[in-house]
Copies of this chain bind each other. A is one copy, B any other.
Amino acid sequence: MLSPPTLLLVLDLVGTFVFALDGALTALRTARLDIVGVVTLATVTALGGGIIRDLIIGAVPPATFSDWRYLAVATTGGLVAFALARRLDRLSLPISLLDAAGLSLFAVTGASKALDYGLGAGQAVILGALTAVGGGTLRDVLIRRVPAVLHSGLYAIPALIGAAITVAATRAGVYGLVAAVAAATACFLVRLLGIVFNLNAPRPPRAGPRR
Residues of A with Cβ closer than 8 Å to B?
A: 27-38, 40-41, 51, 55-58, 60-62, 65-66, 68, 71, 82, 85-86, 89-90, 114, 117, 119-120, 122-123, 126-127, 137, 141-144, 146-147, 149-153, 155-157, 200-211
Check A68/B209 contact, CB under 8 A, given A31-B151, A60-B55, A151-B37: no
> A119 contacts B61, CB within 8 Å?
yes
For the complex of A and B, 3 pairs with smallest distance between CB atoms: A58-B60, A85-B204, A34-B201
> B146 contacts A146, CB within 8 Å?
no
Main secondary structure on chain A at its contact with chain B?
helix
Instruction: List 17 additional contacts besides A32-B151, A34-B151, A34-B202; criterion CB under 8 Å.
Output: A29-B209, A32-B203, A35-B202, A35-B204, A36-B153, A36-B155, A36-B157, A37-B151, A37-B201, A40-B150, A55-B55, A55-B56, A58-B61, A89-B206, A89-B210, A141-B142, A142-B150
> B56 contacts A86, CB within 8 Å?
no
A140 to B, closest residue via Cβ = B142
CA distance A122 to B143 in the complex (A): 27
CA distance A57 to B55 in the complex (A): 10
> A68 contacts B27, CB within 8 Å?
no
Within the complex, what minimum Cβ distance (angstroms) separates A112 from chain B?
15
